[in-house]
Amino acid sequence: MSFIKYLAIFAAVSLGASQANAQSNYLKDNGIFSNVTNYDLPTMPANTLKCNSTGVAAAPADCTFPSVGTQIESAISAQYNYVTDFGGVAGGVTNNFTTLQTACNGSGGARLFIPAGTYAVTVPAATSLCTVPANTVIEGAGKGVTILNLTVSDTVYTNIFVLSNAGVVFKNMTINIITTSTVKTTLFGLQASNIRFENCAFTGNAVEGVRVGGTATNLDTVNIIFTSTALTGSPITITFTVTTGLTTAQIASGLVNAVNANAVLTAAGVTATLDGSFVKINQADTLIPQASYTTSVTGAATETLTIGPSSELSLVVISGTEADDFQMLFDDVTSFNYVILKSNIMTTINKRFTFRGGFYNRNITGALNINSPSGTFDGLLIEGVSIGTVGINNANNLPIALSRVTDARIVNNYLSGTYQQNAMHFEEGSNNLVVANNVVEMTAASALGGVYGGTCMYFVDNNIGGVSRAVNNVSITGNTCVVTTANESGFAIWQAVVTTAALRWTIEGNIFSGYSSGIRLDSANGLTVVGNTLTNYAASGTGIVLGRGVTYGVVSQNSIRTYLTGLTTAATLSIVRDNYGYNPVGVSGPTTVGASPATICAASSPETNYFKQAATFTGTVALGGTVVGTTTSATAPLVVVLGPNDCEVVTWVTTAPTYVKWIH
């Protein structure tokens, strides 16, 4: 995966900021809005896509995010503390909790080095491993070389590492955390600024599955129903019959045995393991698409089956006051419920978060799920990250989900997996977004949930606290979104609206394949949709859908193939023209105008008329009572553009002109 340079990023930002003016000129030059006085598209404010929250525009050189690690490590002495000097013992057997805690607490302003080996750490109940001192580097010998195996069993919410002091770096190590906690557990409680994780692997034990509750009633049946087009005989129902006196753990054990006894499931790599009253569902990466599942209970139905994560395990939870300048660089994250969870208050702004490189896989509720409505982000970079499968049985299972994010760049990422909901989800007033050069290879989940299920990029305003916040100033360029197996039910891009129209969008040079509809824009003011390629596996769906709320837009030079309907539009004051596969739909051969004066009107879509007439005869075409041209040539046509429902009057003498109509 190649990483875009900052200069290229800001070139893209500048392009997005200038396209509104270019669009305005395009509209004017083509004479579409000649009757609109002083028409101009709204321009982006000078500080749009800034890299700070001061409202002051910054030069590109000032917009690069700070090198957090360099700042921290330059403030730390060259002193190295070795965990082995505090009594640390590798080998994976000796409990290193006390020695690691003592070494961590005593390394403020220094570097704590953990040599190669596997270190077992059992964390006592209601206890954090360490509140890391300010200006501390905790460093291993390498990812997969230095390994911390943490075991946590608790009944109260716990942060294993508390990051409440500024200037902390974790680098070059693997941390595995196994929790049997029945409440939320967090590996890192983020409460301070200038924090960096680099070249680390973080692995949890959160697995999606089914939790058994309630009480047993004799002869009730509990069922898990698996659905995937890759499973022979799908849907496959797994049943266990309850008998009097069984505990919830025994019922769960019966379901585990029934899953593992099914030859079709096990051959496909679907297995189950028991964790108390929880049935962990494990699926091989080779099963494409991954199986979604539902549950049912028959009989008296006193038992309950709840689908969700096996544990409320999060990698990072942001809490307390503002936390700025956070970086995750080339880290691998696997099997957490949340990777990033925001729990600080809504008015708190967290600035300059960077995620670069690394592989995020099998995280249940989201890989990079910047959760809302708590808190706000200003300045977010997600670059060069690879994301695999996430959970597929909940509406919030989203690989990238951003809420209340300003000045975000999502660039050069690779997403590949079974996604039941959306690959990228933007809402609640996320503004100034650059989404560029990403590759999304989605596999269609067999049972989609939610009205927007299976969309590559979903954008929506939300009414939070009585205020609707649109998603404005968006540049979507150079992305590839592909459904790998069959037509998805969702969209490549869906700009939805609850109450407030979006402003200033550019969608240019993207490739979308396999979605039921390519681009759906419900309500946007000032947009450019140019040079995109949209294809479908079968002749179904619509390539581009422009809703009634779309105004002042240009939709041009897009290639629309295979869709049953190329384009539908209810847009106003917009140009829709020169789209391959949609324009022209036209008239079969030249048509002669009617008796002079002949009135020709467009329908609900704009159209362009091309008039020809022998040089010896002259006709005139008038719009709104004003003559716009004459028909004096049999080879060079007079071109007249009509907006939706506009009419033109053709007057001629002796011989009627002919015309060809292109509908946009």
pLDDT higher than threshold 90 for residue 516: no
Q: Domain boundary residue among 288, 309, 330?
A: 309
Strand locations in 357-461 (E): 359-361, 366-370, 376-383, 386-387, 398-403, 405-411, 414-419, 424-427, 431-436, 439-444, 457-460
Cα separation, 185 vs 476, whole angstroms: 37
Q: Is residue 65 part of a domain?
A: yes
pLDDT at 404: 78
Cα separation, 549 vs 527, whole angstroms: 12
pLDDT at 57: 35
pLDDT above 70: percentage of residues in the chain: 80
pLDDT digits (tens, 9 = 90+) for 269-303: 999 999 889 999 999 888 888 888 899 999 999 99
- Total number of domains constituting the chain: 3
Q: Is residue 621 part of a domain?
A: yes
- As a whole number, mean pLDDT of residues 88-94 equals 94
More confident residue, 574 or 165: 165
Listed ranges 185-199, 337-351, 575-589, 641-655; the one with the highest mean pLDDT: 185-199
pLDDT at 8: 26
Query: In this structure, how many other beta carbons lie within 10 angstroms of the beta carbon of residue 175?
Result: 24
Check if the beta carbon of residue 137 is closer than 8 Å to that of residue 72: yes
Q: Is residue 639 part of a domain?
A: yes
52-74 burial string, b = 16+ CB within 10 Å, else e? beeeeeeeeeebebeebbeebbe
pLDDT higher than threshold 80 for residue 346: no
- Going across the sheet that includes 221-227, the strands are 236-241, 221-227, 292-298
Q: Domain boundary residue among 283, 309, 335?
A: 309
Q: Is residue 626 part of a domain?
A: yes
Q: Which residues contact 67 (CB under 8 A, 6 or more apart)?
A: none
Q: Is residue 366 part of a domain?
A: no
Q: Is residue 655 part of a domain?
A: yes
Q: Is residue 653 part of a domain?
A: yes
pLDDT at 438: 96
- The SS3 assignment for 619 reads strand
Cα separation, 472 vs 455, whole angstroms: 19
Q: Is residue 565 part of a domain?
A: no
Cα separation, 474 vs 461, whole angstroms: 13
Check if the beta carbon of residue 50 is closer than 8 Å to that of residue 56: yes
652 CB burial (10 A radius; 0-12, 13-18, 19+): buried
Q: Domain boundary residue among 309, 331, 347?
A: 309
Q: Domain limits at 22?
A: 6-74
Using the 8-state DSSP alphabet, how is residue 24 labeled?
A: H
In angstroms and rounded to an integer, the radius of gyration of the C-alpha atoms of the chain is 30
End-to-end CA distance of the chain: 39
pLDDT at 364: 84
- As a whole number, mean pLDDT of residues 33-49 equals 33
CATH of the domain at 236: 2.60.40
Q: What is the DSSP string of 276-335?
A: TTEEEEEE-TTSSSPPEEEEEEETT--EEEEEEESS-EEEEEE-SS----EEEES-EEES
